[in-house]
Amino acid sequence: MERIGQTLFSLNSVDSTNNYAMAQLHAGMAKHGQVYLAREQTAGRGQRGKAWVTEPGQNIIFTAVLQPAPIPYTHQFYLSACISLACYDLLNPLTAENIKIKWPNDIYWCDRKAGGILIENVLQGNDWKFAVAGIGLNINQTSFPELSRAVSLRQITGKLWDIRALVTTLCERMESRYQALVVGKYDQILREYNDVLYKAGKPVRLKKQNVLFEAVIKEVNADGKMITVNGTEQEFSTGEIEWVT
């Protein structure tokens, strides 16, 4: 199979790189490792159906096509963890090592959001045929009028960055993390993910079904559920709770 990013398609404007990659898959035109990089995304999507809005040409907006077999679909969290860790690998050395992964797969610098990931899967019965991993990282944008807690690499470092060069490095980091997944280094992946987990060991405010509560984040388990402590331990699946800032 091709290395991730070995074939890279540059797109001037698309509604969503994930939508584009998925359409290419369904048309039989995409294969493992291909990356679709967009200058502009007009209808980007994040977690929980939220919009992902960026200025044209200022950020990393791309989707990688992945063929996870023989990784079982029950291990899908590990793919999410690997993609998150690849983003961490890219940004952490450039930002005085202040990057964390906010469960499940947002990229944070201090208490501000530097990027996000949206992975969508193609299944055939119980077979995990493909995953499209959409990544949005704030690089050179300096104004986020609708996102008060967003931050870019340029704002953090004061430097203007070569987006194409960063994409090349990110693909290399993704390939390295993906190969660890393929050979079954699940324990290592989970350990490294928890090592950089945002707010680990600290109290946070969360909301479930409009009920606010405070708990201490303990860790994320092998099923991708976040474990919190508030007198007793509780575990939550992705989408079950919301962070309250």
- Quick one: pLDDT at residue 112? 95
How does pLDDT run across 90-127, given as a tens digit for each residue? 999 999 999 999 999 999 999 999 999 999 999 988 88
Parallel/antiparallel/unpaired status of strands 44-45 and 51-52? antiparallel
Percent of the chain beyond pLDDT 70? 96
Residue by residue, DSSP assigns 188-217 as HHHHHHHHTBTTBTSEEEEEETTEEEEEEE
Contact between residue 80 and residue 104 where contact means Cβ atoms under 8 Å apart: yes
**Could you tell me the pTM of the whole model?**
0.95
Angle (CA) 104 136 171, round 5°: 95
- pLDDT tens profile 118-175: 999 999 888 899 999 999 999 999 999 877 789 999 999 999 999 999 999 999 999 9
Q: Where are the beta strands (DSSP E) in 23-86?
A: 35-41, 44-45, 51-52, 60-66
The CA distance from 212 to 227, in Å, is 16
Average pLDDT, integer, range 61-89: 95
